[in-house]
Amino acid sequence: MAKRRKKIDYSKFALAKSVPIRSPKHLAYVRTFPCCECRETEDIQAHHLTIIKGNGGMARKTDDNYVLPLCPLCHNYLHLVGERYYWNEIKLEPTIYAALLWDSFQKTQGKRV
């Protein structure tokens, strides 16, 4: 019978992989808000920010604490023109808005970040 190798604890390395934050409850919470551009309230989608440095990449979503509410039309437009252009065009700082949503969600859950 072959010996099993010990599991490597990658958190000890300098460039450790972080465990992604996944929260279906937070995504549902974000979907209760109107679209952050047109203020539509129907069929809201939680958009994961892709401009967060070091968080995401090819085939990897950013953490669930970096999401914003968008209607399908605005969401499609964002993906069409690109994220940096979109946020500059509507003059919204998405990381601040996402942080405020995450903070308010944490407070509704009785947690403090």
pTM of the model: 0.78
The CA distances from residue 36 to 9, 20, 70, 101, in Å, are: 40, 24, 6, 12
Q: Can you tell me the distance from the alpha carbon of 9 to that of 82, in angstroms, rounded to the nearest whole number?
A: 37
- Which value, in Å, is the radius of gyration of the alpha carbons in the chain? 17
Fill in the DSSP letter of residue 46.
Answer: E
Q: Of the given ranges (25-34, 56-65, 84-93), which has the lowest mean pLDDT?
A: 56-65
From the list 113, 21, 109, 5, the residue with the least C-alpha distance to 67 is 21
Mean pLDDT across the chain: 86
Has residue 29 got a pLDDT over 60?
yes
Domain spans, the chain:
21-107
